[in-house]
Structure 1
Amino acid sequence: MELSDYIRIIRKYWVLLVAATLVGVGVGAVASLVQTPTYSASTQVFVSVQSGETTAELAQGNTYSLSRVQTYANLVDSQRVLDGVIAALQLDVERGALDSRISATTVPETAIIEITATSSEPAEAAALADATAASLSTTVDEIESRPELASPVQLAVVEQATVPASPVSPRTTVNVALGALIALALAAGFALLREVLDTRIRGERDVRAVTDAPMIGSIAFDPKAKQRPLIVHVDPQSPRSESFRTLRTNMQFIEVDDGARTFVVTSSMPGEGKSTTTANLAVALADAGQTVILVDADLRKPKIASYMNLDGGVGLTDVLIGRAELVDAVQQWGTKSLYVLPAGQIPPNPSELLGSKAMATLIKDLQSEFDWILFDAPPLLPVTDAAVLSKHVEAVIVVASVGKATRTQLESAVQLLETADTQVGGVVLTMVPTRGADAYGYGHYGYTERKKLERKPRLSISRQR
């Protein structure tokens, strides 16, 4: 993942990250409030040996002290020392409970032992440290004594414990910071894992990872698309309408053979907006002065007639089986040079009809009459209709819905077309969000087309009609 991916994830999940951080701060603060304050006090004890007056004897005694100081420190949690502390302070606690509250460390390269005691009461912490030092001194004296000889080792308190003014725990600032960091890390990990496991197409980069076919259009999401499928006709000045005109312009650069441009528009799965894309593209091409025929080749769930508000009783299937003439089945839409061939009656064998010789002959007849021929075909993965039809056309336009289609689905669709030896003319992203981390920026472009397109003479079909 690149830096831009992490920035996109932060933008997408910033509410979750902020909320998790606040929760972590709250948990840390509550944990500090409910925790009993603990105070700590320390006493320092110096270990010395009575070893004579000469330099050699003093050096020998110092070496002996350094060698024994760690041993004496380890005696702090011994039974004899702890029992002495309990007796001196008249404590009503078990030895095990007291052991966890007292510890001893040695100051490196010195003969000093530092005894630390903790308690929920500051005065008791200081008393425990001093009592432990006294009990340790007595215990060492008893251990090091010889018959009729005093112990050569002496433990002297060099710094008595002072009553602490503030507790050593809970450390509220640390707990709050730690809670915030842990919560933020968990939320970030969840967001990152979700993005990694989410294979849905989010933008052009995901398309690039699947196919080398060019990106020829991005259509914004419209929550009212079902109520107004022909946005180019209903609201031609909207940014979404402009995106279809941009798609129209980009399709001029798809390399095809001389003559009419014949395209199949399909998708990997249903519900990705291929029919509305095809219909709006046809209207946009007709607005530019081109002669266009829109053929509803989805012989399973046809929608074009409904979108264009036309009678779909007679159409493509009737022409292919010879029940109707092409001139009788084609309907002109509005006053533009746009003609529509509905699907007609739904047949039991759509794939066979679309791959038939009659279909190939029909396409040749249409190529002699129109500048653009657009087929709205079924999705590629559920059925083979689009792949079969693609063998008769110049190229296939694949529609991919942002947030719905997955990279695996798009890759399978492209591979299916490649297996059929069909050129993927381009990919159109639909339902692109206009807000959020995955948003596509739409501006208000000029309505004037950059380039005047050539127009063929009026159709013989229109003259016959």
Structure 2
Amino acid sequence: MTLRDYAKVFSHRWLLITVVTLVTALATFLLTPAQSVSNTAQSYTATATILADSRGSEDGTTPGLTLGRIALFITTGEVPQLVASQVAYEGEPALLGQRIVVTRDPESASLSIASTEGNPERAEEIANTFADQSVAFFEEPRPETGDTELVVLQRAVAVPNEGGVNSIIPPGRFPRTILAAFLGLLLGMAIALVIERFDSRMRDRREIQTALGMPIIAEIHKLRGKDRQHAATMVSSNPRSSTADGYRAARTAVTHTLSTTDAGSSYRPPLILVTSANPGEGKTTSVANLALSFAESGKSVLVLDADFHSPDLHRAFDVPQGVGISDHVIDPKAFPITSLIRPTNAPNVNIVTAGTQLHNPATLASRTGSFLEMCRNLADVVLIDSAPVLAASDMFDIIPLVDTVVLVARSGRLTEHDATRVAELLSRFRIPVSGVITIGSRMPRARRYGYGYGEYPAGKKPLSGRRAGRVETPPSEWTEDDAVTAGATRRSRRETRGDSLDY
């Protein structure tokens, strides 16, 4: 992956990375005490050394009693009881004996008694008391001790333990929170890369174009909150928006494809099939807006809802379902085509709904051949909303009858695998594909100026910077010549300022 690919992944997964970073930082902030832990020693160890000898033995040996037996007498039995009473130990004497560490050195015949406590004086007291009581215990003649005697060689002195306290992690709450946020950022980026590795959904137009092997004829960017309610009629409800311009660009591309294909042959009103790879990619919305864009160019449009599995096109034009295509193909005499055509709230746009006989949708598409041919004579342009390519086989019965195909792909939903399958299936038919309309892509900042003033009511766009002194409000009645002249004027101004022309 290149640096640009990494940047693209992180920009797509910025929310995940932010959440992981904040959660890690917040957890560390809450778990770290407000008062930092001191780096000074929190425990002390005091060690007393005693020598073991034998009474009346010139060579210093201890016949019959090893250092291990001596250590056992020191940590168990009478010695811990005497020490516990002397140092005011409130627990069991046996536990006190287990708290000390007796180390043997056979070469020097010595034993070290070590006591570790949080208080240095307390550590010295326990170690020295064990040493004194052990010497006193072996001074008294006992059958079990034999001739062994002990001598205190060195009194205990407390030494701070510094080994296990220092740490490379900063002690304060704020430094630890900063460190945790940085580690959380790295963790979030790693998770984003892992998810991206297994997530084959495509979001960039180049990825979609490469996977499908088809040109992108229009990019429909994400709609704002209010515009989402009128997504299916953006060409008429907000004609100066970037969405409307996108569908007009798609209309132009489709018209060009048809003119190239029909060169040298007699003209016939075209049948245009609009489909997608999977449901929910914006196919029906695109059909409605394409119909409006053809209608505003002065052509009569007939829209056919041939998605018999999920017929929704009638809702886009606020038309009840009623009888439609399915009723006609089952009983053509009872339901002639002219009785199925319904006007919509858009000028020059009529619709034929999917109908009411939808109990077996898989068999309906194969019986629409004669119906589609008759529809050519009812309008200048016929748009067909079909089932998705990978969701049902209906489209394959209709595609040989149409003149061109328009594919709709939603950014972030179409996978590379699905795109490859769609391209392979469409390539089997000798029907030209006009191109792909991408839905839901992000609008680059560099292109937002191109559609800017069209997103607001005339004269109400908030102005800033060098353009604040000029308000370009089109008159209520604008001819095509006026629009061309105004566009040329704006391009001339941008060239004078040195702005780039991005079309």
Pick the TM interval, shorter chain. 0.5 to 0.7
> Which one of the candidate residues 217, 220, 226 is aligned to 1:218?
220
The separation in 2 between residues aligned to 1:361 and 1:334, in whole angstroms, is 26
Residues 335, 422 of structure 1: alpha-carbon distance in 2 compared, 3 angstrom cutoff = closer
- Kept in 2: contact 1:432–1:439 (CA 8 A): no
The separation in 2 between residues aligned to 1:211 and 1:13, in whole angstroms, is 30
The separation in 1 between residues aligned to 2:311 and 2:273, in whole angstroms, is 15
Q: After superposition, what is the alpha-carbon deviation per residue over 1:382-411, rounded to whole angstroms, capped at 9, x for unaligned?
A: 211122211212332222233444444444
Residues 31, 398 of structure 1: alpha-carbon distance in 2 compared, 3 angstrom cutoff = farther
With the length of structure 1 as denominator, give the TM-score of the two structures: 0.60
Residues 376, 214 of structure 1: alpha-carbon distance in 2 compared, 3 angstrom cutoff = same
Q: After superposition, what is the alpha-carbon deviation per residue over 1:228-274, rounded to whole angstroms, capped at 9, x for unaligned?
A: 63233333344443443343344445465124443211222223321
> Which one of the candidate residues 22, 25, 28 is aligned to 1:21?
25
The separation in 1 between residues aligned to 2:188 and 2:165, in whole angstroms, is 30
User: How many aligned residue pairs are there?
Assistant: 379
Residues 20, 228 of structure 1: alpha-carbon distance in 2 compared, 3 angstrom cutoff = same
In structure 1, list runs of 5 or more residues that go unmatched.
42-78, 84-89, 103-117, 128-160, 452-465
2:389 maps to 1:388: no
Counterpart position of 1:189: 190
Counterpart position of 2:374: 362
Counterpart position of 1:265: 274
The separation in 2 between residues aligned to 1:17 and 1:275, in whole angstroms, is 40
Q: The residue matched to 2:213 in structure 1 has which SS?
A: coil
Counterpart position of 2:488: none
The separation in 2 between residues aligned to 1:247 and 1:268, in whole angstroms, is 18
Q: CA deviation at 1:98?
A: 8.4
- Kept in 2: contact 1:398–1:428 (CA 8 A): yes
2:370 maps to 1:373: no
Q: The residue matched to 2:406 in structure 1 has which SS?
A: strand
Q: After superposition, what is the alpha-carbon deviation per residue over 1:328-379, rounded to whole angstroms, capped at 9, x for unaligned?
A: 433444573333233333355545443344145336546xx51x32111112
- Kept in 2: contact 1:432–1:440 (CA 8 A): no
- Kept in 1: contact 2:231–2:285 (CA 8 A): no
Counterpart position of 1:343: 354
Q: The residue matched to 1:396 in structure 2 has which SS?
A: strand
Q: CA deviation at 1:168?
A: 5.4
Q: Which amino acid aligns with 1:21?
A: A
Residue identity over aligned pairs, in percent, reads 22
Provide the aligned C-alpha RMSD in A.
5.5
The separation in 2 between residues aligned to 1:38 and 1:326, in whole angstroms, is 94
Counterpart position of 2:48: none
The separation in 1 between residues aligned to 2:244 and 2:349, in whole angstroms, is 17
- Kept in 1: contact 2:10–2:192 (CA 8 A): no
- Kept in 2: contact 1:267–1:274 (CA 8 A): yes
Residues 439, 395 of structure 1: alpha-carbon distance in 2 compared, 3 angstrom cutoff = farther
Counterpart position of 2:325: 316
Q: CA deviation at 1:163?
A: 7.9
Residues 352, 222 of structure 1: alpha-carbon distance in 2 compared, 3 angstrom cutoff = farther
Counterpart position of 1:244: 247
Counterpart position of 2:166: 169
The separation in 2 between residues aligned to 1:344 and 1:424, in whole angstroms, is 28
The separation in 2 between residues aligned to 1:325 and 1:440, in whole angstroms, is 52
Q: Which amino acid aligns with 1:344?
A: G
Q: The residue matched to 1:169 in structure 2 has which SS?
A: coil
Counterpart position of 1:200: 201
The separation in 2 between residues aligned to 1:238 and 1:426, in whole angstroms, is 22
The separation in 2 between residues aligned to 1:214 and 1:95, in whole angstroms, is 85
Q: Which amino acid aligns with 1:3?
A: Y
